[in-house]
Structure 1
């Protein structure tokens, strides 16, 4: 039989967040994994009512009381727990009644789902991106081949025309063929491989900031929220400037089309994240660059197709800026995401800070 010290040692070393509640739903014990997940101290929280640690749904307390009264276990999937500090996490949790001599206690095992859901979302996004690339490449091939024939035929026709003014029409054909070919080339993105070198991410952001301040004529509030401890990142400096500038200019245009730039605010924020997964690879350390604006937000019907070529929320937009940005970030083995609601839009760029990564 396992003695009590060994039982506690086993609980202390579990990676599953585990809590023990008494019959009044007050905390008796939580292991270190639970402390880390809920960002609270088990010792200080001892005796606290469960809703003082986190809240879920109005029905959650009733379910817990029912579990105590009827000794009935239950499991809940993809529940959203909100801590006392206001931080929300998505979890699965299982509640198991434990009958003791004095009372019925509840053992709660909590499994965080945020990371798994985010990985699933990223994989779907990367799959869509690859599918879109293949579609665009195939479409570009089918367009550029006849364009070359049309352009060549127009040039030959121009040589045979008897009158000079008739060449104006062939010039229109040639110019429009060239314009369409350039558009297709932009859809495909640059074929040039990144010229990688160790670069300070804040040099990139300062370059973008100076261009933004010049273009907005000082009417836009630009906030810098940097982590100066971030080491240099292996990147193509010019490509990364282009990628970030595309996002910032989009935000500027949206803000200027509203109530004016005077109320507009764009924040450039940098942080580091540990043990972060991009695709199937877990990185020990990544840099998180967030571009935040207080504009009206991106329409919900556009959010799932935001990075597709030719998709734009503006009547005068080409829909290529974000597609190019995503291509650049992908070439740097990184990831770009967007979350948006009215008054708050965040584009997040994640770039690995080390080369030695492990499969997730």
Structure 2
């Protein structure tokens, strides 16, 4: 038993150091007296930098939070802040719930115990699950509509052809030709709404070879207009995917970025293709040991929040001449690979991310 004896302070510190909850101890002047490793990781700082320093200003962006902390000191009453957004570093914002509790031991100065729980992962999982469910529902609806469109189109086209043969004057065939051409166009739209006709042919694929293939196609289309940067993790192994379908998705995303850059006349337009591996990453509700992330990044004007919420729905487009099918089909293809396409956008940077599990796919769930 003797080997386990230690002072209360040492025991408490060891317990706090092993907590996954971020914990900060503050004095009455709101200076940091202790933070555990979980808090260091969450706030992207170190104990040596944070100790004896005032609580960072990003906790006080909300005046209500500042008043609540002061009231906690004055009245020794705990409070909780929900979904606080903290800009812990340039371009890095986290969402947390945090609570502050006063500790006033007799004969000891007042101190505050701050506990923080990161919500980023929970919010992302919820957002991804909602996106997956919405995509599945809309795909089922669109497939039904597309089939209902295609069924009468064959009859309309056949009747127009018979009518064309029976017309007494060749001049009148101009009208039947319009019917036939429009029927063909609608059939083509319906086929695109149905998505890929054949299931993916899974095999080992080098994603960098796919990206380079798409890069060469884009350089041929826009030889002088757009700079294309590469930021590859060359240590990535092959992934199990359908090469042709993966190229189709990448080409769609990169062409969309190119068109947005040129239409907005962005000075020094640039697209960056980036690959990374994510460990113990969740796609929807499924946790994967390794996940491939491919980012298509452009420095264009960005996408509005309203468009971002519906951009993966069929027949929804942010461009005047867009069909609204490209992103929906791309999401459907990646869904068959048990992956997901996400988008984050702000003026000056739009990132489309393709997330693909790197383990062997369960082909029973790819239909």
Q: 2:74 maps to which residue?
A: 69
Shift of 1:117: 0.9
Shift of 1:86: 5.6
Q: For residue 206 of structure 1, what is the aligned residue in structure 2?
A: 212
Query: 3-state SS of the aligned residue for 1:69?
Result: helix
- Taking the aligned partners of 2:264 and 2:20, their CA distance within structure 1 comes to 49
Matched ranges for 1:234-313 at <5 A: 234-259=240-265, 263-313=268-318
Aligned-pair CA distance for 1:259: 2.6
Deviations 1:63-90 (A, max 9, x none): 3232122211000000012225663200
Q: 5+ unaligned residues in a row in structure 2: which ranges?
A: 363-367
Distance 1:44 1:264, change over 3 A: closer
- Number of residue pairs matched by the alignment: 355
Equivalent in the alignment of 2:351: 346
Change (3 A) 1:152 1:202: same
Structure 1 stretch 87-96 or stretch 57-66: which is displaced more?
A: 57-66
Task: Say whether residues 1:227 and 2:233 are aligned partners.
Answer: yes
C-alpha distance in structure 2 between counterparts of 1:116 and 1:244, whole Å: 28
Q: What is the CA–CA distance in structure 2 between the aligned matches of 1:24 and 1:85, rounded to whole Å?
A: 26
Contact residue 337 and residue 356 of structure 2 kept, 8 A: yes
Gaps of 5+ in 1: none
Contact 2:23/2:36, CA 8 A, preserved across alignment: yes
What is the CA deviation profile of residues 253-275 of structure 1, one whole-angstrom value per residue up to 9, with x for unaligned ones?
A: 12222336x62111111112222
User: What aligned pairs does 1:113-262 form with structure 2 within 5 A after superposition?
Assistant: 113-259=119-265
CA distance in structure 2 between the partners assigned to 1:180 and 1:98 by the alignment: 71
The answer (yes or no) to whether the contact 1:95–1:109 under 8 Å persists in 2 is yes
Q: Does 1:38 align with 2:43?
A: yes
Residues in 1 aligned to 2:140 and 2:242: alpha-carbon distance in whole angstroms: 24
Distance 1:68 1:276 in 2: 40
The TM-score normalised by the length of structure 1 is: 0.91
**Alpha-carbon distance between aligned partners in 2 of 1:67 and 1:354, rounded to the nearest angstrom:** 50
Q: For residue 56 of structure 2, give the secondary structure of its aligned residue in structure 1.
A: helix
Q: Distance in 2 between the 1:203 and 1:324 partners?
A: 22
Match runs of 1:13-52 below 5 Å: 13-51=18-56
Q: TM-score, normalised by structure 2?
A: 0.90
SS at match of 1:263: coil
